[in-house]
Structure 1
Amino acid sequence: MNRRDFENSTAGKIIQVGQGNVAYWAFVPNPLPPDLAPEWELASLLSVADRAVSELAGLGRNLPNPDLFVSPFLRREAVLSSRIEGTQSDLTDLYLYEAGQVPLPGFESMISTEADVNEVRNYVLALEYGLERLRTLPVSLRLLCEIHERLLAGVRGEYATPGCFRTRQNWIGGRTINEAVYVPPPVDEMRAGLDAFEKYLYVDHPHPPLVRLAFLHYQFEALHTFVDGNGRIGRLLLALLLVNWKLLPQPLLYLSAYFERNRPDYYAHLLAISRRGAWREWVFFFLQGVKEQAHDTIWRIKQLQDLQTLWRGKLDNVRANATTLRLLEWLFVAPVISIPQAQKLLDVTYHTARRSVEKLIEMDILHQFGESDYDRRFIAKEILKTLNAEDGSLGRDNQN
């Protein structure tokens, strides 16, 4: 790590570790909060972001069955957050994997390896666990360790002491520590930083919650507390805090899509804080992401609601039975399904489940995946199309 890049930073200090040929430089961030002067442009964007989150919260509170919409957005977050770390799996891959079938060659999905899908699936399990754990344990270092253990269980990072903070030095970029782009604090300084980080979680501060989220995300990434999985845990942290702090009634807002879409800027802003204390630029970037992703989620939820209404109308017109209507609802949770899965979800006979699936195929709601007659899977393509759309820009262009 180049000492000169960090020696004038106001966000922390650079220290030399070791001596002689084994010496290297590391960065130790200052405890939160930073000295961020209020100014009108930032205040204006904060106001817009707050309104967007409030609108999303209101929409979430009025959903007749929030679980139908929480599940797909949680999985979309898992795909995009994992993609930032290099996986290639998409949402269709994940749903097929959860339905018990790895995608077949030639399908439009950009499948890479089953290991990639496993990592994405672990993200889902880790986030679901964290959200459930919030009922009895607030966001804390303990909770982050528990989530980390589930994130890395049985996947490529399982060597990296899942569930434990690191006990050795790590670094970002470069083949050796002296070639690194960034070297986080040594273990003792990291532990002190974690103590301060947790205290900041629990103590009231004058900064607005969304600004505090921006502070905390940087601080966690700068401390780089795990051997592996820091980026994913840092993004999970945001989703958990939005619910823990009651900014949202359900976990509907995720920033990984924005970070992935602006990946070079995302990394550059985090590094710029460490190098020169560029807090204002990072907070502005972060709030822009909150605004965009809140509007994006609102747009997608409304698209899914319209789709739900359209399909219900089609089924009502042909007087579909209650079992078929129930299966339609389940498609928003699991848009890839088999007949045995439908049988289990609906608690009906195989014959009844098959008839409901066939009715949805007849109404052009479900489509068979692949051409095999054995162990067939069926896909609600329009749901996946809405979730996989590049962004909800049509829903954001007219919003300030």
Structure 2
Amino acid sequence: MSRRSAPASTPPGRRVRCAGGYAAFVPDPLPPELEWTPTLVRALSDADRLIGRLAGEGGRLPNPHLLIRPFVRREAVLSSRIEGTRATLGELLAAEAGAAVDRSPADLREVANYVVALEYGVKRLKAHPLSLRLTRDLHAKLMTGVRGGHATPGVFRTTQNWIGPPGCTLANAIYVPPPPDVLADCLGGWEKFLRERSLPVLVQAALMHVQFEAIHPFIDGNGRVGRLLITLFLVEREVLPAPLLYLSAFFEATRADYYERLQGVHERSEWEGWLEYFLNGVARQSEDALSRAERINALLARWKDELAGASQAALKLVDLLAQNPYCTVRRVERQLKVAFTTAQRAMERLGAAGILKQVNQAKRDRVYCATALLKILEEPARLVPMEAA
């Protein structure tokens, strides 16, 4: 049974006066009592329908597992961009292929850590439920060796943090999360809510995320961990056959609205507005993921048709490009487990077909890219329904 929600414009929790003279916010346990307005019901229906279509079509795609790798990296780039990291998807993929990239190593490390954390989380969910322990482990993988890495990776905070513009203090912060002495209770309630089974899964995911952001249990890295948890929650609940849906593209494209909606919940109990926004994101990103997956698979099929009669190595290289459109001869040699000359001939065959293009000026250590594939992956997120586009 959900508790009765606070009156309109009232925060969903209590403000407590702390020893330093500042006021911190302690959110009420989830779930709130929601008003199921016609708009909210339509948003849930639309999101359920489209994520269901993604689940159905995703399961029928020839090689859905090939698409997980680039989709995970796209999510890592966009979630990190929300926090100010400027690395692009192309730069991350090129660096992973062994190419020199003109980007701060610190930026690339932050994005790479996100990939490691997300892949680790998906693997761990096969044997363990989403929990506080897994959340700490994700934070440790995310924050080790990067800016903010001094902030005790993998450890819930024991000091007060706050949210606001650079240079602000506890006295003039936009938001002050729960003080350390009540943090364990807040997190215990949040973990208990993860086991809830009375709400629609997408609604629960939205509530879980906004509550995590309200608690802000780490000194740094809360936003990235919170967005990671959305994907992992949907994987755990088996909403999709593979982790193909990521919301950071939507959040990044509507960043001001994202923060406004979070703040609307924390300050005025605007749950329905947050849920409508979140569910619209699920709907749009479901369409977007399905469209990208279908176009990528169509492109791979066309390339294989154009390579009819080519060597097995050349055909296998097409599937390798689906995971990362950048390649070098050494990478192809290693990944396909073929001789150097075999890898070289396969790449030359794809180059002759116009699939691969050299993207650096080197005579040795040449880097090639399937630019048509990279273009699909790097397209901005779609923010309107397909039928309205």
TM-score interval, normalised by the smaller of the two chains: over 0.9
Aligned residues: 381
Per-residue CA deviation, residues 117-156 of structure 1 (Å, 9 max, x unaligned), is 1100000000000000111111111111111110011111
3-state SS in 1 of match to 2:16 = strand
Letter in 1 for 2:195: Y
- Matched with 1:135 is 126
- Matched with 1:3 is none
| Root-mean-square deviation over aligned CA pairs | 1.6
**Does the CA contact (< 8 Å) of 1:17 and 1:26 recur in 2?**
yes
Per-residue CA deviation, residues 35-76 of structure 1 (Å, 9 max, x unaligned), is 112222211111110010001111221123222111111100
Return the offset for 1:8: 5.9
- Matched with 1:46 is 44
**Does the CA contact (< 8 Å) of 1:7 and 1:14 recur in 2?**
no
- 1:75 pairs with one of 70, 73, 76: 73
- Looking at structure 1, the residues matched to 360 and 334 of structure 2 have their Cα atoms a distance apart, in angstroms, of 22
- 1:217 pairs with one of 205, 209, 214: 209
- Looking at structure 2, the residues matched to 7 and 397 of structure 1 have their Cα atoms a distance apart, in angstroms, of 34
Q: How does 1:1-400 map to 2 (within 5 A)?
A: 9-18=10-19, 22-104=20-102, 111=103, 113-174=104-165, 175-205=168-198, 207-316=199-308, 319-392=309-382, 396-398=385-387
- Looking at structure 2, the residues matched to 157 and 7 of structure 1 have their Cα atoms a distance apart, in angstroms, of 37
Return the offset for 1:7: 12
**5+ residue gaps in structure 1?**
1-5, 105-110
CA distance change for structure 1 residues 163 and 295 in 2, over 3 Å: closer, same or farther? same
Percentage of matched positions with identical amino acids = 44
Return the offset for 1:180: 0.4
3-state SS in 2 of match to 1:364 = coil
CA distance change for structure 1 residues 43 and 354 in 2, over 3 Å: closer, same or farther? same
Per-residue CA deviation, residues 90-120 of structure 1 (Å, 9 max, x unaligned), is 001101111222324xxxxxx4x11101100
**Does the CA contact (< 8 Å) of 1:235 and 1:256 recur in 2?**
yes
Per-residue CA deviation, residues 2-58 of structure 1 (Å, 9 max, x unaligned), is xxxx9962411111101xxx3101111100001112222211111110010001111
Return the offset for 1:182: 0.3
**Does the CA contact (< 8 Å) of 1:221 and 1:230 recur in 2?**
yes
- Looking at structure 1, the residues matched to 88 and 313 of structure 2 have their Cα atoms a distance apart, in angstroms, of 30
Query: TM-score, normalised on structure 2?
Result: 0.95
- Looking at structure 2, the residues matched to 324 and 359 of structure 1 have their Cα atoms a distance apart, in angstroms, of 7
Moved more, 44-53 or 6-15: 6-15
- Matched with 2:4 is none
- Looking at structure 2, the residues matched to 31 and 135 of structure 1 have their Cα atoms a distance apart, in angstroms, of 28
- Looking at structure 2, the residues matched to 254 and 24 of structure 1 have their Cα atoms a distance apart, in angstroms, of 37
- Looking at structure 2, the residues matched to 124 and 309 of structure 1 have their Cα atoms a distance apart, in angstroms, of 27
**Does the CA contact (< 8 Å) of 1:297 and 1:392 recur in 2?**
no
- Looking at structure 2, the residues matched to 234 and 241 of structure 1 have their Cα atoms a distance apart, in angstroms, of 11
